[in-house]
Structure formats: structure tokens, C-alpha cells
């Protein structure tokens, strides 16, 4: 039995963007799709709540099923259901913990002021499987895949995450029949750089020497040329989005170390910073 990819559908708004990405991922990772459409309405004043709820679910499900059949017929294996849930991320996290899908896919509706809805942020921070947010506003139609790694880390957890990011990005690039690019950002204080206290070019040259063997190993293992490995200094979110634009990436694969409790709610991380700036599909992985 194939492992499944959980797809959060939005047939009213996403114009099948999420289904297009889900189809690519299903073929890349040899998975079936579990497509879930959500509905919820305020039933205040309704005497028979259960009957009203089931009527709404049936109506939404029937309308969505017609659109789904036209979009995915004979392309990939899938199941489809409509779920009554007010807090989508709670339902998804519970489902993930019980069924362990390969990943979760959802559309993120971008505006210039705000990339994601609260549901998206909850999933990226809390979900225990990879999450892809498919943007509705791309930079371009190119399909290059960009993987972000930390070559300087000595922590086993982060080294394993590097490998996971590279493996997922490589599989995706092969499915899209496109190039894989790799980006490593050397975090340098913008203030010190501006004051001329640190030399960005020299730091990049030094890091290239220090990471030479790791770069050679990556190039050999994942079939990339030196020109496809980008080592840059600066703020990671700005560097990654700049490299993504330069290599015309339509997908960025990034790893994040999940936080817990209050820290999770109050402090962002590099993955979230990249997500806020990038106008491209983003696959977020955890160790």
C-alpha cells in the first residue's frame, strides 16, 4: 500500500494550484493523495445542528467532487473527503500524528503585506511531517529546485537535516526534469559588513576552502556542478531568495529545527523568514 500525501484543498480559491503540486509530489515520491476539503459555518439559531451540518458537508462535497474529477482523473490515485472543522491545523496535526502521511500540501495565498494565514504558520511550526506551501503568485514559470543547507554545522541533527533536504530536493528535481541548485548562507552581521569591518568576499573564499570536501561530496552524490552550488554571505532569507531568483527556482526546499511551547509562538526562524520573502513553492522539512 502506497504512503499518502495529505492535500488540504480549497476549491473556492486555489484554482487547482495545490492539486498541480500534489500531482507532481505524488509521482516524485510514489504516493497516493488523500485530498481533504474543509467546511465550517456558524449554526447559531439552528435547532437540528447535526442535520444542518451534514447538509452543508454534502453540498460542499458534491460541488468539490465535480471539480476534482475533472482535474485529477486518471492522473494519480486519490481519495477525497469533506470535513467539518473550524481549526484546520488542529485536525491536520491530529491526522498526521495518527496516519503518518509522507507530507502535507497546502496553498498559501500571498499578498505583499502577508504571505501566510495563521493556519499555514501553525502547520509549518507544529506539523510532524514535511509541509509544502504552494504559492499562488510565482516569480516565473521555471522549474529549478533550490535546496538550502548549513555546511558549517557540526550538530548531528542538523547534518541529518541537510541530507534530508538534499534527498527531497533531488527527487523533486528529477521528477521535474530540471536542475538542482544548492545554497549555503554564511551569516554575517549586515552592520559590520556595511562598516567595512568584515570583508564578505574574503569570508566566502575562506568558507569555500573550509567546505571544499563537503562541496565535492555533494556534487558527486547529487550530480550537481560547482556552478550549481552557491556559497554567499548575508542574511539567510535575503540570500536564499536572491539565489532563488538568480537561478529561476520555482521550488525551495528548506529545513527547520522545530521549537516548542512559548518559544515556538514568539520567535521566527530562518525557514519562516525565507517563506515570507520568496514568491515560490516551499517545502519545509524537519529532522
How many residues appear in the chain? Answer: 287
* pLDDT value of position 142: 66
Q: What is the mean pLDDT of residues 28-51?
A: 92
- Same domain for 74 and 195, yes or no, is no
Of 103, 118, 135, the one marking the end of a domain is 135
Q: What is the mean pLDDT of residues 18-41?
A: 91
- Same domain for 110 and 226, yes or no, is no
The tens digit of pLDDT for each residue in 93-113 reads 999 999 999 999 998 765 544
First to last CA, the chain: 25
Half-sphere exposure of 37 (CA within 13 A, CB side): 24
- Same domain for 129 and 210, yes or no, is no
The tens digit of pLDDT for each residue in 156-184 reads 998 999 999 999 999 999 999 999 999 99
Phi, psi values for residue 34, rounded to 5°: -110, 100
Domain that holds residue 8: 4-135
- Same domain for 94 and 158, yes or no, is no
Please choose, from the candidates 165, 158, 91, 103, the residue with its C-alpha nearest in 3D space to the C-alpha of residue 132: 103
Domain containing residue 63: CATH number: 3.40.50.620
* pLDDT value of position 262: 44
* pLDDT value of position 112: 47
Q: pLDDT band at 137, cuts 50/70/90?
A: low
**pLDDT higher at 168 or 196:** 168
Of 92, 113, 135, the one marking the end of a domain is 135
Domain containing residue 180: CATH number: 3.40.50.12370
Q: Which three cell numbers stand for residue 221?
A: 552524490
Of 103, 135, 167, the one marking the end of a domain is 135
Angle at 62 between CA 57 and CA 66, to 5 degrees: 145
How far apart CA 250 and CA 236 sit, in angstroms, is 18
pTM for the full model?
0.86
Count of structural domains, the chain: 2
- Same domain for 37 and 63, yes or no, is yes
Largest Cα separation within the chain, whole Å, is: 72
Amino acid at each position: 500500500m502506497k504512503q499518502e500525501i495529505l492535500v488540504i484543498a480549497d476549491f473556492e480559491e486555489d484554482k487547482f494550484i495545490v492539486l498541480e503540486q500534489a500531482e507532481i509530489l505524488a509521482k516524485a515520491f510514489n504516493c497516493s493523495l488523500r485530498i481533504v476539503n474543509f467546511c465550517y459555518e456558524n449554526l447559531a439559531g439552528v435547532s437540528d445542528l447535526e442535520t444542518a451540518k451534514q447538509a452543508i458537508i454534502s453540498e460542499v462535497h458534491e460541488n468539490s467532487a465535480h471539480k476534482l474529477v475533472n482535474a485529477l482523473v486518471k492522473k494519480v490515485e486519490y481519495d477525497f473527503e469533506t470535513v467539518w472543522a473550524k481549526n484546520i491545523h488542529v485536525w491536520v496535526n491530529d491526522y498526521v500524528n495518527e496516519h503518518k502521511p509522507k507530507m502535507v500540501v497546502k496553498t498559501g495565498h500571498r499578498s505583499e503585506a502577508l504571505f501566510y494565514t495563521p493556519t499555514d504558520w501553525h502547520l509549518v511550526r507544529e506539523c510532524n511531517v514535511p509541509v509544502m506551501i504552494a504559492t499562488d503568485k510565482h516569480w516565473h514559470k521555471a522549474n529549478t529546485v533550490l535546496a538550502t543547507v548549513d555546511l558549517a554545522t557540526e550538530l548531528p541533527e542538523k547534518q541529518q537535516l541537510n541530507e534530508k533536504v538534499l534527498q527531497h530536493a533531488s527527487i523533486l528535481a528529477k521528477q521535474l526534469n530540471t536542475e538542482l541548485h544548492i545554497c549555503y548562507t554564511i551569516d554575517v552581521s549586515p552592520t559590520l559588513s556595511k562598516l567595512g569591518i568584515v570583508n564578505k568576499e574574503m569570508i566566502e573564499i575562506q568558507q569555500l576552502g573550509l567546505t571544499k570536501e563537503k562541496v565535492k561530496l555533494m556534487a558527486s552524490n547529487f550530480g550537481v556542478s560547482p556552478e550549481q552550488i552557491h556559497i554567499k554571505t548575508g542574511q539567510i532569507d535575503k540570500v536564499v531568495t536572491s539565489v532563488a531568483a538568480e537561478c529561476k527556482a520555482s521550488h525551495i526546499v528548506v529545513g527547520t529545527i522545530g521549537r516548542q511551547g512559548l518559544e515556538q509562538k514568539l520567535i521566527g526562524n530562518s525557514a519562516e523568514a525565507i517563506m515570507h520573502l520568496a514568491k515560490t513553492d516551499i517545502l519545509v522539512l524537519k529532522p
